[in-house]
Homo-oligomer: A and B are copies of this chain.
Amino acid sequence: MQEWKDYQAANKDRFLNELLELLRIPSVSARSEHKDDMLRCAEAVKKSLLNAGADKAEIYATNGHPVVYAEKFIDASKPTVLVYGHYDVQPAEPLELWHSGPFEPTIKDGKIFARGACDDKGQFYMHVKALETLVQTNSLPVNIKFIIEGEEEIGSSHLADFVKQNKALLKADVILISDTAMISIDTPSIDVGVRGLTYVEIEVTGPNRDLHSGVYGGAVANPITILAKMIASLHDGDNHITIPGFYDDVVESSAAERAELAKAPFDEEEYKKDLEVNALWGEKGYTANERTGIRPTLEINGIWGGYIGEGSKTVLPSKAYAKISCRLVPNQKSAPMEKLLIDHLYKIAPPYVQVKVTPHHGGDPYMTPVDSIEYKAASKAIEATFGKPPIPVRGGGSIPITALFESELGCKVVFLGFGLDSDNLHSPNEKYDIVNFYKGIETIPYFHKFYAEMKLS
């Protein structure tokens, strides 16, 4: 489609500059002090969709951060693609490890460095610019709807209600999401699955106040020691998770499926070198790709307690805390797994301490069937622009809302992600390669074209 290429080539610098503007807004959903930034970002997204040619774009208030909805209708006989993305970003801390300001996007070596560059502003914005391309070249082959939310990084807690209450508005034939990664620009891949998530916070209280570790140490349980023992007990010597029933609902992958997954290129030495670790870690009996793809995991995302300042303080603290999350795989469900985790933490708490566990958020795992036209259209689009078909892989991350989309809206979700695992998502120096950004804008129109053709044939 030479027309698309010409239009995009003529406007590419503007596309990039518009993205940089969006990246300047610190839309950190987890932090209440960014409430106004969230609103400002929603406004900017709405405006960008109208500028791209949407018939209408609206900001819908929720009990949390607002949702941006937009649509471009062409013809009731055409299928409808619902594009989902999120304008919120992870907290930028630890700030001291960033080489440039997280909200001062910086271009270096062909990469955009900024919080949200890849996750997900850079990726959903490709869809905005793909829409613009199709509208401006009068070649839009489908009806398009956008739902860009502001709470993905905190579990999409209010999006579920919004989806349930707006089924007619959101009615579509397929949901298209760019919020995942591919193996590399030379080895394109499509995530056919995302893991589910359950996330809790534990507070362990020992004595009712911080104590002098000399006067009381040895006679009163230290909540840090107890918490460490509780955490240590969650994995056995083979790094299996010890919570009774944890693996009950896991669909074990067949030997054939594991052989298929093993075809994805993986260089363990390169992987270790990139992370600067001497040895990999994980569940016995599985490869690194399987550990992040087809197996559930339990990670400690944060821990704190006692004196954490400069120097020393001889304190036996009153409290210790940890943030604990599990990634889930088919057919584990978030709600019962959250209950299993919480019940287990209460059960293993010794009598010396009080334990309180608070759930944060969760989401079910999701898989796209590789024999569906949704997957096939995505695969064919990748092939059209990359010159080779994508490898289907199982992604390790989670997009909490996907399972709910399918159950509420009755259509499949397909992941068309252009990020890389090395993009430092959720880490300092998050980046997105400019070439990937453009490649996405180039590929998305093909998805719409092929999907319309397959759906109508």
Contacts and interface: CB of A to CB of B under 8 A. Distances in A.
Interface of A: 29-32, 90-91, 93-94, 97, 153-155, 181, 195, 197, 199, 201, 206-222, 224-225, 227-229, 231-235, 275-283, 288-289, 291-292, 295, 297, 299-317, 320-323, 325, 327, 350-354, 360-361, 395-398, 421, 424-429
Given A209-B97, A300-B224, A310-B31, A315 B218 contact: no
Nearest to A206: B277
Given A212-B425, A218-B292, A396-B214, A303 B308 contact: yes
A301 B280 contact: no
Given A214-B195, A277-B207, A427-B211, A302 B313 contact: yes
A228 B232 contact: yes
B303 A316 contact: no
A199 B213 CA distance: 12
Contacts of A276: 207-208
B323 A307 contact: yes
Contacts of A199: 312, 314
B302 A305 contact: yes
A140 to B, nearest CB: 34
A300 B429 contact: no
Nearest to A227: B228
Contacts of A212: 396-397, 425-427
Contacts of A312: 30, 154-155, 199, 201, 301, 323, 325, 360-361
Contact of A314 (B209, B301, B429): B301
Contacts of A308: 302-304, 321, 323
Instruction: Kindly name the residue among A91, A206, A281, A350 whose own CB sees the greatest number of chain B CB atoms within 10 A.
Output: A281
A279 B31 contact: no
A222 B302 CA distance: 10
Contacts of A281: 219-222, 352
Given A216-B421, A312-B361, A313-B323, 7 more contacts: A207-B277, A217-B299, A218-B295, A218-B396, A219-B282, A232-B232, A304-B305
B283 A301 contact: no
Given A232-B229, A288-B219, A352-B277, A209 B325 contact: no
A300 B312 CA distance: 11
Contact of A225 (B231, B353, B396): B231
A275 to B, nearest CB: 4
Specify how many copies of this chain sit in the oligomer.
2
Given A219-B291, A312-B361, A317-B302, A429 B307 contact: no
A214 B301 CA distance: 11
Contact of A307 (B235, B295, B302, B353): B302
Contacts of A195: 214
Given A277-B207, A303-B320, A351-B279, A31 B311 contact: yes
Contacts of A234: 225
A150 to B, nearest CB: 13
Contacts of A353: 277
Contact of A313 (B90, B222, B395): B90
Nearest to A359: B312
B301 A307 contact: yes
Given A213-B426, A280-B219, A313 B292 contact: no
What are the 5 tightest A-B residue pairs by CB atom distance, in nearest-first order? A214-B397, A30-B311, A232-B232, A221-B281, A302-B306
Contacts of A323: 306-308, 312-313
Contact of A301 (B90, B235, B306, B350): B306
A7 B322 CA distance: 56
B426 A210 contact: yes
Contacts of A225: 231-232, 234-235, 299-300
Contacts of A283: 218
A234 to B, nearest CB: 8
A216 B299 CA distance: 10
Nearest to A221: B281
A360 to B, nearest CB: 4
A291 B218 contact: yes
Contacts of A351: 278-279
Most buried by B among A210, A233, A309: A210
